[in-house]
């Protein structure tokens, strides 16, 4: 397919790959965060709320303190939403799924409210400073993959480094092992002297911050503006990505790329002249893929044993 694209338009394949990596970045950030959270046994359905909160936080802050501050504010916003989630689920031991759903609705509504009151009722699009592309010299000139892999905003490189870092941390540090123990056999972890709730709260906060970064990426490195409900279900898609990646950071990154590709198929089709397909199908692809992934039979077997239990 890629070769065919090269025939039709030499740059189409490269553009497709670049779009893939670009759209995969926020998905990967959110998924990596959720991966850690689920390893500790907590499903954060409210991840969507953290993403949209991060998006708004980044929008507001970037206008004031620039792109870097935007990312930081986004991470903080996502973390705050996750803190609310942790308060209910880890603190009050409320049902993770109902709470997560409520938090998502709350965050979506709140960000819409704040956005309109800050930037106008009709929601006129505003432009924020965007993260510039950081092209690595030499490497970015490689054919096909050069632009895709080495001419991306800084946040993308950060994401790539985070995945192996998390993998190493989970597998090779005491803290990582403790976290995994909490998600597999909390009673055993308690016996070993680990305090599950503390760690679970920390994991949830981390996931929130990562999701906030994902939202910031949506605004600062992709859309360049804030749109209400722009998270568009990415929080839930991230959960499917974690399942597809079997709860391991590096495969999760790969799964995110797959979803990014699904998102970017539209550009590929268009550049190849296949215009007959309604664009809603492309919008729907990540959702369909999510359903397919979750239905994949072996997915459940690899999940942390105590996932979702209070």
Partner 1 sequence: MSHLASDLPNRTRERLRQTGVLLAVAATALLLLVGLLVLTGHAVGPALSALVRGAVGSSYAFTSATLVRMVPLGFAGLAVSLAFRAGLLNVGAEGQLLMGAAAATAMSLPLANVNPWLAIPILLLCGGLAGAGWAGVAALLRARFGVLEVISTIMLNFLALYVTGYLVRGPLQEPTRINPQSDTLPSALQLPVLLEGTRLHAGVPLLVLAAVLMWWWLSHTASGFRVRAVGASPSAAASAGGIYVPRTVMLAFLGSGLLAGLGGAVEYLGITFALYENFSPGYGYTAIAVALLARLHPLGVLASALVFGALDAGANAMQRDAGVPNVVVSVVVALLILLIVAADRLLGQSTLTRGTSGRPAESGT
- Our finding on whether 227 is near partner 1 (CB under 8 A) is no
Residue 144 makes CB contacts below 8 A (sequence gap 6+) with 2, 13, 14, 17
What is the C-alpha to C-alpha distance for residues 34 and 208, in angstroms, rounded to an integer?
8
- Our finding on whether 291 is near partner 1 (CB under 8 A) is yes
Residue 272: what are its φ and ψ, rounded to 5°? -95, 5
In angstroms, give the least distance from the CB of 11 to partner 1.
29
Torsion of CA 169, 68, 149, 3, to 10 degrees: 130
Contact pick of 65, 105, 175, 302 for partner 1 (by CB under 8 A): 105
What is the C-alpha to C-alpha distance for residues 51 and 66, in angstroms, rounded to an integer?
19
- Give the Cβ contact number of residue 7 at 10 Å: 11
Q: Show the site string, 28-47: x = touches partner 1 by CB under 8 A, - = not.
A: ---------------x-x--
- Our finding on whether 127 is near partner 1 (CB under 8 A) is no
In angstroms, give the least distance from the CB of 175 to partner 1.
26
In angstroms, give the least distance from the CB of 75 to partner 1.
22
3-class SS at 134? Answer: strand
Give 35-47 as a DSSP string: HHHHHTT---TTH
For residue 127, what are its two tokens? 């432009």
Contact pick of 63, 69, 112, 178 for partner 1 (by CB under 8 A): 112
Angle between helices 12-39 and 174-184 (to 10 degrees): 80
- Our finding on whether 179 is near partner 1 (CB under 8 A) is no
Contact pick of 63, 66, 69, 109 for partner 1 (by CB under 8 A): 109
- Our finding on whether 125 is near partner 1 (CB under 8 A) is no
- Our finding on whether 3 is near partner 1 (CB under 8 A) is no
DSSP structure class, residue 152: E
Which range in 65-73, 116-124, 140-148, 174-182 contacts partner 1 by CB under 8 A? 116-124
Residue 94 makes CB contacts below 8 A (sequence gap 6+) with 88, 310
Of 20 and 99, the one with the shorter C-beta distance to partner 1 is: 99
Q: Where are the beta strands (DSSP E) in the chain?
A: 133-135, 151-153
Contact pick of 9, 76, 102, 142 for partner 1 (by CB under 8 A): 102
In angstroms, give the least distance from the CB of 295 to partner 1.
4
- Our finding on whether 93 is near partner 1 (CB under 8 A) is yes
Of 21 and 107, the one with the shorter C-beta distance to partner 1 is: 107
- Our finding on whether 182 is near partner 1 (CB under 8 A) is no
Contact 235, 76 (CB under 8 A): no
Residues near partner 1, by CB under 8 A: 43, 45, 84, 88, 92-103, 105-110, 112-114, 116-117, 121, 228, 232-233, 236, 239-240, 278, 280-281, 283-284, 287-288, 290-291, 294-297, 300, 307-308
């Amino acid at each position: 397919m890629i070769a065919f694209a090269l025939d039709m338009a030499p740059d189409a394949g490269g553009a497709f790959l670049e779009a893939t990596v670009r759209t995969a970045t926020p998905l990967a950030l959110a998924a990596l965060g959720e991966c850690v959270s689920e390893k500790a046994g907590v499903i954060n359905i409210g991840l969507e709320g953290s993403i949209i909160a991060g998006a708004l936080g980044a929008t507001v802050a970037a206008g004031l303190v620039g792109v870097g501050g935007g990312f930081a504010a986004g991470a903080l916003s996502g973390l705050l939403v996750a803190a609310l989630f942790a308060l209910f689920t880890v603190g009050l031991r409320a049902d993770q799924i109902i709470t997560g759903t409520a938090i998502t609705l709350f965050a979506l509504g709140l960000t819409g409210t704040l956005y309109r009151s800050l930037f106008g009722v009709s929601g006129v699009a505003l432009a924020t400073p965007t993260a510039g592309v950081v092209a690595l010299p030499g490497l970015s000139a490689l054919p096909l993959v050069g632009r895709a892999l080495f001419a991306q905003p800084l946040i993308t490189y950060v994401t790539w480094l985070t995945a192996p870092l998390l993998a190493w941390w989970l597998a090779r540090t005491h803290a990582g092992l403790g976290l995994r123990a909490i998600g597999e056999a909390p009673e055993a972890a308690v016996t070993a002297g680990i305090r599950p709730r503390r760690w679970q709260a920390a994991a949830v906060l981390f996931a929130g911050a990562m999701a906030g970064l994902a939202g910031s990426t949506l605004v600062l490195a992709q859309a360049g503006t804030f749109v209400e409900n722009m998270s568009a279900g990415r929080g839930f898609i991230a959960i499917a990505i974690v399942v597809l990646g079997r709860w391991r950071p590096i495969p999760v990154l790969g799964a995110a790329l797959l979803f990014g590709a699904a998102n970017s198929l539209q550009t590929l089709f268009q550049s190849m002249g296949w215009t007959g397909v309604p664009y809603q199908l492309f919008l729907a692809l990540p959702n369909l893929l999510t359903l397919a992934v979750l239905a994949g039979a072996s997915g459940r077997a690899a999940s942390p044993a105590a996932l979702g239990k209070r």
